[in-house]
């Protein structure tokens, strides 16, 4: 029986399990046996795989995390271990390997493709920084989670007239921060695509307090500031209570949204269809809500998908740098 391999790699994202379930079911529908590699590329190196069946995945569609586990592998960055992975893939007898993950996963997929492995890549990362698609699995879920938490934090901060600094995940991008700031009607957003220095932040806070907002909300993407130090500095310099909150892994866990579930089905179906049609070494994505494929070699070097238009709209509404 012909075989398809599948793995999830990097940080887990809501929708991975929904996509895995779809891949497994489609594989058997098309006459393939499906084998799952545990712990991403680590599983390739250690030859840790098993036959995964429809019964195995029948109850995972609405679950967060990854049923077959996910990991980042430093060893896989070394050529000698990639060669071991390739040999193990060949021994497994699979026709193609479906990798589900983010941009780091795509770089690994490109390396495997260069070494002769047939690859299909599916975007799954809450950071939405896979540039060959408009929407990666997990992003919508993470934004919804973050928005709900920011809404709740704003309510308690307003009750106590406290300034709040809320840090979102995003790795090196500002997508989660931007979308959740807009959706929660935060007062300012700080993203790495347009860094804000302390002067801008202070001017913003002073302007908000001057106009009667004694509990302004700052949403920031991670890796920009030490938010706890920033909160202490603001409290000292403004003589006004300020609290910092890091949302962290609460954004990444939990059930996927309807949008992520639907995308997971579409990506999984398309991946197996591509393999059956002999279309290999491509990344599956969405453009204008239509499935597209991009050569994996191109997918890893495409430009950022940060929504500058949305950010510009947010600045026009809230950013004091645009005020006369």
Tokens representing 101 are 């993950």
What integer pLDDT is reported at residue 319 of this predicted model? 57
Cα angle 127-128-129, degrees, rounded to a multiple of 5: 90
Question: Token pair of 185, please?
Answer: 């009607």
Question: Residue 317: which pLDDT band, with cuts at 50, 70 and 90?
Answer: confident
- Mean pLDDT, residues 262-278: 98
Q: Would you tell me the crossing angle of helices 227-238 and 198-210 to the nearest 10 degrees?
A: 50
| Partners of 165 in the β-ladder | 218, 244
Active site residues: 127
For the chain, the helix, strand and coil percentages under 3-state DSSP, each to the nearest 5: 45, 20, 35
Considering all CA atoms of the chain, what is the largest pairwise distance in Å, rounded to the nearest integer? 72
Per-residue burial over 19-35, b if 16 or more Cβ lie within 10 Å, else e, is bbbbbbbbbbeeebbbb
Which of 42-56, 153-167, 192-206 has the least mean pLDDT? 192-206
pLDDT mean across residues, the chain: 95
* Element of type H or E holding 34: strand 32-37
The model's pLDDT over 229-240, given as tens digits with 9 standing for 90+, comes to 999 999 999 999
Task: Say how far apart CA 187 and CA 204 lie, in whole Å.
Answer: 9
Q: For each of the domains in the chain, give its residue range(s) and CATH number, in order of start.
A: 2-138+256-299 (3.40.50.450), 140-252 (3.40.50.460)
Each residue's pLDDT tens digit, 23-80: 999 999 999 999 999 999 999 999 999 999 999 999 999 999 999 999 999 999 999 9
Tens digit of each residue's pLDDT (9 = 90 or more) over 105-147: 999 999 999 999 999 999 999 999 898 999 999 999 999 999 9
Query: How far apart, in whole angstroms, are the C-alpha atoms of residue 128 and residue 305?
Result: 8
- The answer to whether 36 and 47 have CB atoms below 8 angstroms apart is no
Distances (CA, A) of 263 to 4, 14, 133, 147, 159: 20, 11, 11, 21, 39
Q: What average pLDDT does the segment 249-268 reach? A: 96
For residues 221 and 176, the answer to whether their CB atoms sit within 8 Å is yes
What's the pLDDT at 258?
98
DSSP H helices, the chain, are 16-29, 41-46, 54-57, 79-92, 103-114, 139-160, 175-183, 198-210, 227-238, 258-277, 296-299, 308-318
Running DSSP on this structure, what letter comes out for residue 242? Answer: E
- Residue 212, pLDDT > 80, answer yes
In eight-state DSSP terms, residue 163 is E
**What is the b/e burial string over 144-161, where b = at least 16 CB atoms within 10 angstroms of the residue's CB?**
bbbbebbeebbeebeeee
What average pLDDT does range 268-275 have in this prediction?
98
Phi, psi (deg, nearest 5) at residue 241: -60, 140
Residue count (the chain): 324
Q: Is 324 exposed, middle or buried (0-12, 13-18, 19+ CB in 10 A)?
A: exposed
- Residue-wise pLDDT for 274-312, tens only, equals 999 999 999 999 999 999 999 999 999 877 688 999 999
* Report field, pTM of the whole predicted structure over 0.75: yes
Split at pLDDT 50, 70, 90, the class of 324 is very low
3-class secondary-structure state, position 253? coil
Is the distance from CB of 56 to CB of 62 less than 8 angstroms?
no
């Amino acid at each position: 029986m012909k075989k398809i391999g599948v793995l999830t790699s990097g940080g887990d994202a809501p929708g991975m399990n929904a996509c895995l379930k779809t891949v497994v079911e489609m594989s058997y529908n098309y006459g393939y046996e499906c084998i799952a590699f545990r712990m991403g590329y680590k599983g390739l190196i250690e030859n840790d795989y098993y036959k995964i069946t429809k019964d195995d995945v029948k109850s995972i569609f609405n679950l967060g995390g990854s049923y077959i586990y996910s990991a980042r592998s430093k060893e896989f960055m070394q050529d000698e271990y990639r060669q071991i992975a390739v040999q193990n893939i060949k021994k497994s007898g699979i026709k193609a390997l479906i990798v589900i993950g983010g941009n780091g996963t795509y770089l690994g997929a490109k390396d495997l493709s260069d070494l002769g492995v047939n690859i299909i890549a599916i975007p799954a990362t809450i950071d939405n920084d896979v540039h060959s698609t408009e929407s990666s699995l997990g992003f919508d879920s993470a934004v919804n989670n973050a928005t709900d938490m920011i809404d709740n934090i704003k309510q308690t901060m307003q009750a106590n007239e406290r300034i709040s600094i809320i840090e979102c995940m995003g790795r090196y991008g500002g997508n989660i921060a931007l979308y959740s700031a807009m959706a929660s009607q935060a007062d300012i957003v700080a993203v790495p695509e347009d860094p804000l220095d302390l002067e801008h932040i202070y001017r913003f806070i002073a302007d908000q307090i001057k106009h009667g907002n004694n509990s302004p909300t700052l949403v920031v993407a991670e890796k920009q500031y030490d938010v706890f130090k920033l909160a202490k500095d603001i409290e000292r310099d403004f003589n006004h209570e300020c609290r910092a909150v890091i949302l962290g892994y609460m954004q990444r866990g939990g059930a996927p949204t309807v949008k992520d579930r639907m995308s997971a089905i579409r990506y999984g179906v398309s991946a197996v269809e591509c393999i059956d049609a002999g279309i290999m070494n491509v990344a599956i994505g969405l453009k204008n809500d239509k499935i597209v494929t991009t050569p994996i070699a191109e997918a890893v070097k495409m430009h950022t998908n940060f929504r500058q238009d949305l950010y510009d709209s947010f600045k026009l509404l809230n950013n004091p740098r645009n005020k006369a």
